[in-house]
Structure 1
Amino acid sequence: MKTNARYLADVLTTAVAPAIWGSTYFVTTSFLPQGYPVALLRALPAGLLLLLIVRKLPTGVWWGRAFILGALNFSFFWAMLFVSAYRLPGGVAATVGAVQPLIVIALSRVFLGKPIQPLAVVAGFVGMVGVGLLVLTPKAALDSIGVAAGLAGAVSMAFGTVLARRWAPPVSNLTFTAWQLTAGGILLVPFALLLEPALPMPTAANLAGIAYLGLIGAAFTYLLWFRGLSRIEPSAISSLGFLSPVVATLLGWLALSQSLTPVQIAGFAMVLAGVWLSQRTMMQLRPIRPAASPEPANRPV
């Protein structure tokens, strides 16, 4: 059984993933061609690289599951995220996406039979309000398509999070991540060829940005995320996603000389309170065992 110290270590390790995701906006705007979606270049090369490392393909039912999870956690989620970010101010898009932990709580009740913890729901609302205070501006405008895309993306990753826990892959987290990234990248190929503009000749900065998003922002972070998901309740791990807009705001303050208002500072405090309350709620419940069964010759990282 887990101790609270072990649980806290798992939470802190997993929290590195959404913290790094918070750097995506800065890297995209500073190092990549303007307005060009790089979801395919972010997913497929990283997935193929991990497949070369693990040298293990799915078998049986896991072929279908890998593509379902690849679509939910990567290809469809990233596509909706791009549409939402393109049509909405960043603050609105982030606030819409912050509803994801509440969706995960509901889906965990349906698919995992987990009871709904009132404090976890409160934590979800506190975190969502905190994100709104942190990133929304008085000039923020709504767009129905952008809002719908943001909600669709939140639902997509919420389903991916819960189903990944429900199916509990009989392989290492590294292999599980490789399967999903590769499958998600393959699903993005036809859309990239038919809908995306041709990628301009990349500069050294472009290549560095793409490498960062693929190797660090996708392969490394999702390895940590799925490792955490095998050890932490989905409703608790999803609340860690609130850290992404916090890091994005802090990077804007530190690297782009943006100012922090008292309202944003209050939002920052509410986000941290929401994350703490969610984890505290799970720590008070009976500890859980890891859901994934690692491969004998390739233990999870």
Structure 2
Amino acid sequence: MKKQTLNILYCLLAAFIMVSCQKNVKSTDAVPQAVSDDVLASIKAYGFSTSDVHPTDGGYIVEGDIFLSNDDLALKVSGPTLQVAKTEQYRTTNLVTGLPRIIKIKVSNLGAAFISGTDTAIARYNRLGLRITFQRITSGTADITIQGFNQGPSGGYITLGSSGFPTSAGKPYNLIQMNTNAQAYGANPNVLYVGSVIQHEIGHCIGMRHTDYMNRAYSCGGTATNEGTAGVGAIQIPGTPSTADPNSWMLACSNGGNRTFNANDIIALKYLYK
């Protein structure tokens, strides 16, 4: 998620393996460490911009909000490109299979706001009557674990959360990470805001790309940036609009408040999972 000086813009982001949320913050951190030419070449090979690369634990943040792990960058880019350059709801090539299916979610070692935020997100999905439903558990094996990490700002950025996309075996991505650092959500996180971020990250776990992945400037402002297919596909979902959709829960950036599904989001989810 990004926070600008005059206009607060919170990015809910996507990556091909890990999806992270960040915001810009005023920081007295040292100048970001240099990125090697080899790393920049790998980032470019995946189709991402190399003009704004920030090292972070385990990898790099590119284009302001996309996390690429060191393991991701070590892989050779291959395979077909599936891309539709409009502003609609998009899914990845892989989806959750074995429907109907209950996806169990466990919150591990996080505070009350994150637990309540998870319950908020789960309730919003379950009200749609999909063939995937969500259940928060406190013991046993979870399909998705939500856990915390504490990382302050680096180079003017702070990561708010991360997730990923379904596996080729039809399983949801199994991890959502939420930043517990006070500069991420504050000392007293707003439940509806936290819940909206978790709702968005769950969307990635079941195969949703950003609504404006092909032009993040639509919701984030600044220079037009295409996230690319990122090795997971970006397939337009029939029945969703071919014009701008300003209130989608999967827009790359929001105002950092309470955002849930709009009418077109519901069409997209029911097309995939009803």
TM > 0.5 fold call: no
TM-score by length of 2: 0.29
Between Structure 1 and Structure 2, whose CA radius of gyration is higher? 1
Q: Which has the higher contact order (CA 8 A, sep 6+)?
A: 1
Of Structure 1 and Structure 2, which has the larger fraction of its residues in strand?
Answer: 2
TM-score norm. by structure 1 comes to: 0.27
